[in-house]
Every structure is written in structure tokens, then in C-alpha cells.
Amino acid sequence: PKEIFLKDYKQPDYYFDTLDLKFTLGEESTIVASKIAVNPRVEGQFSPLVLDGRDLKLQSVKINGNALKEEDYHVDSRHLTLKSPPSSKFTLEIVTEIYPQKNTSLEGLYKSSGNFCTQCEAEGFRKITFYQDRPDIMAKYICRIEADKSLYPVLLSNGNLIEQGDLEGGKHFTVWEDPFKKPSYLFALVAGQLESRDDTFTTCSGRKVSLRIWTPPQDLPKTEHAMYSLKAAMKWDEDVFGREYDLDLFNIVAVPDFNMGAMENKSLNIFNSRLVLASPETATDADYAAILGVIGHEYFHNWTGNRVTCRDWFQLSLKEGLTVFRDQEFSSDLGSRPVKRIADVSKLRMYQFPQDAGPMAHPVRPHSYIKGAEVVRMYKTLLGSQGFRKGTDLYFQRHDGQAVTCEDFFAAMRDANNADFANFLLWYSQAGTPVVKVTTNYNAEGRTFSLKFSQEVPPTPGQPTKEPMFIPVAVGLLDTSGKDMPLSSVYHGGKLESFSSSGQNVYTTVLRVTKNEEEFVFNDVSEVPTPSILRGFSAPIRIESDLTDRNLLFLLAHDSDEFNRWEAGQVLARKLMLSLVADFQHNKALVLNPQFLQGIKSILTDLSLDKEFIAKAITLPGVGEIMDMMTVADPDAVHAVRTFIRKQLASELKEELLITAKNNRSSGAYEFDHNNMARRALKNTALAYLGSLEDPEMTELLLNEYRTAMNMTDQFAALVAIDQQHAIREEILADFYSKWQHDYLVVNKWLALQAMSDMPGNVENVKKLLSHTSFDLRNPNKVYSLIGGFCGSPVNFHCKDGSGYKFLGELVVQLDKINPQVASRMVSAFSRWRRYDETRQSLAKEQLEMILSTAGLSENVFEIASKSLA
Ligand code: DPP
Ligand code: ZN
């Protein structure tokens, strides 16, 4: 396979204006007839028309109604090439036969649990029919679906239903017309035995939109929260971005077999059922929050992705970065902003930063979702809410109906605000996480406080040297009582910026760091301040400051910026964990720093704080985050240290934790709102600490929590806490399974929990679970739970005898034959193998080589495995 580069982008020679599709769905195969109005870009210029196609059986091809002769076209396993099509507008008709029942890749049209559905992003449409399967080909679609009426009573596609009726032989049909041009990746079709929860939404201009959420009949009661989320998202997009929905119908379908989370197909979103179905008894707070965020996300794509789409797949962050940013803001506005920010930054650190530092590092372009959202957030940080809104308004005004690039988004932000963005565009092209060092200095005589920044972007594959980036750093200064000091002015690069002119006090300012080294000096600083740097995580960077432990403890106690308050605790925890890891490696006894203990205690017992904030602030950084900071990652040492600190904190703070757990117990019915979720989060975090003690009294407490829980959040949290107690876990796990075996989404949680266990030799349990009745290698969610869960276990996946690596290697080979996309996600667990010691390196490398030597390997797995070894 040949790698494709951004610089190779070429305009298509032919545009497609309209596409008429006709599907005849059958039990053996499906016939797809397409009729395309083709429009050459340059009239009178002859060039071949190359259509993409995979796993298709071509039945016929016609131009302007005439069947093509064999010598006029060429078909191979990838393309249908029309050698010399007309050089002015013409009609192209193609009939293909496809086999959705045999399609286990879950790309294109496939059958899942009795129903037909599609997944076309990024290149699945070519598995349905021959087409120019690229996002800059935007056409108006009409789709006719014919199928057996009793097997497939519901037939859906994009746009409006314009016709339906019965046919001979027990069949029926529907015809759908989508008035908006769209790229092929947004096409969708669903057919099957489904029922809908119906509701309506009246838009800001007074149009009534029908909303339908489709599931198999038995799941319908679990769609209430999804409907709530959809209506909230529609309203929010009007209020915050001025975006109104544009059709009279919006459909969501939940399917159990889906490679990703969900898909924003025009007016027919298809969702992994885990992100639609929820009830208090079966879904946790995290599930509820994820459903809200993802329903919002897919809905928001209607404008950011669908109305304005991507020119090519290198522009993925144009739609994903912006839409992730929008869903983050949506969830923040409906819940707690600081807590959401902490959760999003934790995710960035867990998934993005490690990737940035490894062989898979790549710039925001082509395909970084989370970092793309950070880039969008920086525009807002630099321009303010109003400036940012002006920018998005101009973006929609300029580009509605177009397929555009990240530069177009940049230009809209810049032009709407007359802004100077210096070298901001480097965020799209330069890979790696910038490392920024800050040194601080207070000058009592001059009453000035200076911050000196130096930045470095580490080399990444293909990019050995880097330019300095444009980094917005939000800063505030705390006085000795812990209050924010009003900022007077800052001197930088020969210029003085004064904050007094507006008449309002300024407590946080955004410094624009653009050089390798530069200094900012605050004036009129009356006493030694404690600086709060990178408030709200204003840029996706790693920051190393000269702040002392005392400064950090002070920030942890007082910072008005809750993100930085949390961050101060995390920095302290990271330092502590790293020093204990060194002790562990040198066989020294582990001792917990009493100041750290005090810091955690004061947070835990501060009743003025948001409870979910407390839960997050008393949670230690993950094993992965600490391994990331080591020259040679040592999973055993980091795991041992993290376990030690947790136990130590639990035993020292046992009384406080017990009170916290008791005072925050549930009372009454489940409510999805921030206060109740925060209360549960704090209680359950406290229980997890207590569970680590393995003390019989705590065991009783947890068992009682487990038995009396009135919702899945509390029940599963108790189970997780019990799971640490190796003596009784088996029995309780069996009990949980017998309670929930009828609910596959709950069973997936049960699989994941066991997969992640740090029990020695757990690989054997996981192997056994592969043949458990509840497991199925063809279902992505089950694979993500069991195999993905296992790869997240530091001690067992990275076990020094190589058993974890061997397990994954063999599984990837097996899985690749079924579903290459899912297999490639799994193989990426190997990608950072060079971070470990020599023994582990050679064991992981052996597996990667074994995978690469497998005959018939998919491109998906090949790409990840070969890049990992490069
Ligand atoms: N485009 C899809 C989404 O945004 C990909 N998962 O959810
Ligand atoms: Zn998306």
C-alpha cells in the first residue's frame, strides 16, 4: 500500500451532481443500481473516470443509456475505470451485487442482529457501489429501498420520505430524497424490525421537526435519555452557535454491532447502542454523560461536517476537532465546566500525548480528534467568546455547501476578527507535544514579577526539527492570602500592555508565547505572588515550571482556577510517584510524604468544594501517565507505587473516607444532574479507596453497598471496589453475571472489569472468557471490553514473561480476518513497545513481526504494525 500525502491533493476531473440509488435487499445478496449525473470539471477535456470499488460484483455499466463495451472499461479489485467517457455532462448507470450478510468488517452495507445498516466513513461507500468515494464529490441523493415487508418493516435513508408503498411478493419500498448535497461518507441506509420513540422539536424559526430514535422493540424504554440529549443539543446549537436544524425529520438508529461510537450521516445518525441505551438500573453516570456528549456531537456535525464538509481526509480535524470542541462545550454548559475540562485534559494526556511521543505521532492534520479540539479551543481563548462566534458565523456564511480545508477555518477566524495569529497554523502541521519551561522571578525593589518561557517541540517521525509554536498561556497571580491579584500591566518584546484602561480589574491574562525563548514582566506587583500558569489548560502542551512543592500546595489550596487547582495536586502526585518509583527500583522502603497526605486530606474534607472536583482531585494520575514520564517505562514499579499510595492514603484517611461515603449515600430515585452525579462520584471514589484496604469490615461495607445499590452507577462502583479484594471477587462477579446476563451492555462492563484486573496471571482468565457464552469476536464492543480492557492492564499485558503480548499478537491475527478496523485498534497497544526494557521490547517486537509476516494481512493492521516497527 502506498502512503498518500496532503501535497498530492488534486481536484477531481469529474463532479457528480445527483445520485439515484436503488437497493433491492435480499437474503443471499443485495442489488445496488446507481444512476449518476456526471459533470466534467473542464468541458471538452478527455480523461479516464476512475471509480472506487471493493468487494463488488459488477453487473452492468451504461453511459447515457447505452451499455459499455468490454474494451471501454476496466475493473480490478480496487477500481472501475471508464477509459474515455464523454467530455460533457452525461449519465452513468451502474449495477452491482453485494453480500451484506457476509460482511463482517462492518464497513459498507452489513447485516447486524437481523437488521441492515451502513457505515461509510471514511471509505465504506466503495463497498456498496462504484463511485468517486472522496468527500469533495458532493451530490444530491435519492434512495429507493425495496425489501421483504415482514422481515424489514422499517426502511430508512437520508433526507425526507417522499414515497412508499407495497410491492408484489410481500415486498414494500420507500423513497428518500435528501435536498442537501453531501459526500458519500454521509450516506446511510437502515432496514429492519425497529420501533421508534417519537418526539418533536420546534426550531428558533418555528419549524416543527420530527425526532425519532429507533431500536429493537425491547430497548425502546431505554431511549429516554437519548431523546432528552438530542433536544438539549438542538436548543444549545441555536443558542450558542446560531445553528438551526435544516430538515423536517431527524432519525437516530441504535445498532449493537458498530465499529465506532456513532456516525453523523445526514439526518440518519447511526449509533453504537452503548451510546444510546440507558436506564438508571443498567447504565452508569459515565454512560449517561457519554450519551449526552455523543448525541450532541453527532447532531452538531450537521453544520460542522455535513453542511460544511472536508475537502479530503487530511482535513479531518476541520470537522472532528471543531465538533469535539462543540460537544465539550455543550457538556460543560449542561454540567460543570471545570470538572469537564479536567476530564477532557486527562483524556488528552492518556491518549494523545503518549501518541505524540511515539512512532504513530502525526500532526493535528490528518486525524487527531482530541488535539484538534484543543486547537479550536485556542482560537476561542485568543479571541474571546464573541470573537470566536464572529469567526464561526463567517465560516458558515462563506462555506455552506462546500468541501473545505483547515486553512479556510483559520482564515474565517482571522478575517472576522482582523486578528494577528502569527504562526498559529503550525498547530495543524507540526506533530509532537510542545514542552514549555517556565522560570519565575520576583523583584521586590522594582515590584515586578517575570515569567521566562522557553519552548521545544520534540522530534517526531519525518519531522526532525521544529519551529517554535504560538502558545496562548493564561496566567493569574495569587497574593499571600491566596486571592487573585488584579493585574496592572505586562511588559513584553519592547511593548507595555496595560489592563487598567477598561476600568475593570483583570485577574487572568493570556500571554502569547511565540518564540523559542521570551520573557514577560508584570508590573506593580506589591508582594511575592504565586503564579497560576496555563489556567484552564489554555494550550495542549507539557509545562515544566520552577514552582516548589510549597507553591503547588498553596495553589492546590487556593487557586480560583479550578483546573489549575486540580493540576497542582496532579503535579505533586506525579513528582511523588516518580520518586517512589525510583525508591522501589532500588529496593528502598516506600514512605508516603506527609505533606501530600495533608493536601489530599484538606481537599477531601473541604465541604465548600464541588464534590466531583474533590473526587477528581483525590484520584492519582494513572499508571500510563507516570510511565510516560520515565526514560524506560517500568509498569511493575509504577503499579506497585500507585497501589502503595492508594492503600496508604486509605488507611491514614479511613475515618474521613468512611464519613464521605456515608454522607453521600444515595437516597431516592436516580437523577441525571450534576449535583447527584458529583455526590455519587465522590462516594464511589471513597469506597474504591476503602476497598483497597482488604479489611473485613470494609468488605462488609462494600458488600452492603453492592446489595443495596439502586442504580448501576452505585452497584458497579461497589463491584469495582470489591474486585480489588481477591478473596471474594469470584463469588460476587458470578452473582453480578447471573443478575445481568440478559443485558449485553451490562455484561460488557463485567467483561471489561475482569479483563483489567491486576490479579497475577490474569491472562489465563481472559483466555477463558474468550469462550464464555457472552463473548463474540465479531462484536466490536465485546472486543473493546475484553481485549481492549486487558491491554489497559499494566501488569498483565506487559507481563515480563511475554504472555500478554503473545495473547494479543495471536488475537490480532485472528481478528483481522473478521474485522480489520477493530483489529488495527487492538494492535496499536503494541505501538509504544520501545518505551520498555529490553526484555519486553524483544517480546513485543517478536509479536509485531509475527503479525506482519501473516499472509493476507489487512491494510489497516499493516499500517499500524509497520509504523510501530519503523
Ligand atoms: N465521524 C464519526 C463521529 O464523529 C466518527 N466516529 O463520531
Ligand atoms: Zn465526529
Give Cα 315 to chain centroid, integer Å: 17
460: β partners: 463
DSSP conformation class of 349: I
Instruction: Report which of residues 422 and 102 the model is more confident about.
Output: 102
Cα 206 to Cα 120: distance, rounded to the nearest angstrom: 33
From the CB of residue 208, how many other CB atoms can be counted at a distance below 10 Å? 9
- As given in the structure block, the three cell numbers for residue 122 are 471514511
Pocket perturbation via mutation, ligand 1, pick of 182, 186, 255, 263 by most ligand atoms within 8 A of CB: 263
Cα 126 to Cα 103: distance, rounded to the nearest angstrom: 13
Ligand 1: which atom is nearest the Cα of residue 301?
4
Cα 163 to Cα 165: distance, rounded to the nearest angstrom: 7
The string of pLDDT tens digits covering residues 679-719 is 999 999 999 999 999 899 999 999 999 999 999 999 999 99
pLDDT in the model for residue 44: 86
What is the whole-number distance in angstroms between the Cα of residue 36 and the centre of ligand 2? 28
Given the C-alpha cell 465538533, which residue does it identify? 323
What is the whole-number distance in angstroms between the Cα of residue 320 and the centre of ligand 2? 5
Q: Which of 91-100, 179-188, 393-402, 690-699 has the lowest mean pLDDT?
A: 690-699
Ligand 1: which atom is nearest the Cα of residue 262?
7
Ligand 1: which atom is nearest the Cα of residue 260?
6
Which ligand has the minimum distance to the alpha carbon of residue 373?
2
What is the whole-number distance in angstroms between the Cα of residue 322 and the centre of ligand 2? 9
- pLDDT band of residue 368 (cuts 50, 70, 90) is low
658: β partners: none
The string of pLDDT tens digits covering residues 141-155 is 999 999 999 999 999
Mean pLDDT within 121-130: 97
What is the whole-number distance in angstroms between the Cα of residue 173 and the centre of ligand 1? 29
Q: pLDDT at residue 157 above 90?
A: yes
Q: Does residue 271 contact residue 277 with C-beta atoms inside 8 Å?
A: no
Give me the percent of the chain exceeding a pLDDT of 70. 99
Q: Does residue 61 contact residue 73 with C-beta atoms inside 8 Å?
A: yes
pLDDT in the model for residue 8: 85
pLDDT in the model for residue 132: 98
Q: pLDDT at residue 282 above 90?
A: yes
The string of pLDDT tens digits covering residues 620-676 is 999 999 999 999 999 999 999 999 999 999 999 999 999 999 999 987 899 999 999
- pLDDT band of residue 677 (cuts 50, 70, 90) is very high
What is the whole-number distance in angstroms between the Cα of residue 264 and the centre of ligand 1? 6
Cα 715 to Cα 708: distance, rounded to the nearest angstrom: 8
CB neighbour list of residue 714: distance below 8 Å, 6 or more residues apart:
666, 680, 683, 684, 705
Residue 445 backbone dihedrals phi, psi, to 5 degrees:
-65, -50
**Nearest CA residue ID for atom 2, ligand 1:** 263
Cα 519 to Cα 511: distance, rounded to the nearest angstrom: 10
Cα 268 to Cα 263: distance, rounded to the nearest angstrom: 9
Q: pLDDT at residue 367 above 70?
A: no
Cα 532 to Cα 511: distance, rounded to the nearest angstrom: 12
Q: In the annotation, is 121 catalytic?
A: no
**Nearest CA residue ID for atom 1, ligand 1:** 263
Pocket perturbation via mutation, ligand 1, pick of 182, 187, 260 by most ligand atoms within 8 A of CB: 260
pTM above 0.90, yes or no: yes
Q: Does residue 132 contact residue 11 with C-beta atoms inside 8 Å?
A: no
Ligand 1: which atom is nearest the Cα of residue 369?
4
Instruction: Report which of residues 6 and 283 the model is more confident about.
Output: 283
The string of pLDDT tens digits covering residues 508-517 is 999 999 999 9
The three-class DSSP label of residue 144 is: strand
The maximal CA–CA distance of the chain, rounded, in angstroms, is 94
What is the whole-number distance in angstroms between the Cα of residue 60 and the centre of ligand 1? 34
DSSP conformation class of 352: I
Q: Which of 93, 264, 298, 567 is catalytic?
A: 298
**Nearest CA residue ID for atom 5, ligand 1:** 263
- pLDDT band of residue 1 (cuts 50, 70, 90) is low
C-alpha closest to that of 828 among 866, 798, 786: 866
Give whole-number Cα distances, 775 to 95, 720, 857, in Å. 38, 20, 24
What is the whole-number distance in angstroms between the Cα of residue 732 and the centre of ligand 2? 38
Question: Per-residue DSSP letters for 709-748?
Answer: --SHHHHHHHHHHHHT-TTTHHHHHHHHHHHHTT-HHHHH
- pLDDT band of residue 391 (cuts 50, 70, 90) is very high
Which ligand has the minimum distance to the alpha carbon of residue 319?
2
Give whole-number Cα distances, 547 to 342, 417, 469, 524, in Å. 21, 36, 23, 21
- Average pLDDT score, the chain: 96
Q: pLDDT at residue 319 above 80?
A: yes
Mean pLDDT within 614-619: 98
What is the whole-number distance in angstroms between the Cα of residue 118 and the centre of ligand 1? 14
DSSP conformation class of 460: B
Which ligand has the minimum distance to the alpha carbon of residue 122?
1
pLDDT in the model for residue 366: 60
- As given in the structure block, the three cell numbers for residue 77 are 479489485
Could you tell me how many residues make up the chain?
870
3-state helix, strand, coil in the chain (%, to 5): 45, 20, 35
Q: pLDDT at residue 532 above 70?
A: yes
Residues enclosing ligand 1, CB less than 6 A?
121, 260-264, 297-298, 320
What is the whole-number distance in angstroms between the Cα of residue 317 and the centre of ligand 1? 11
What is the whole-number distance in angstroms between the Cα of residue 859 and the centre of ligand 1? 21
- pLDDT band of residue 338 (cuts 50, 70, 90) is very high
470: β partners: none
Ligand 1: which atom is nearest the Cα of residue 320?
4
- As given in the structure block, the three cell numbers for residue 222 are 431505554
DSSP conformation class of 121: T
pLDDT in the model for residue 269: 98
- pLDDT band of residue 45 (cuts 50, 70, 90) is confident
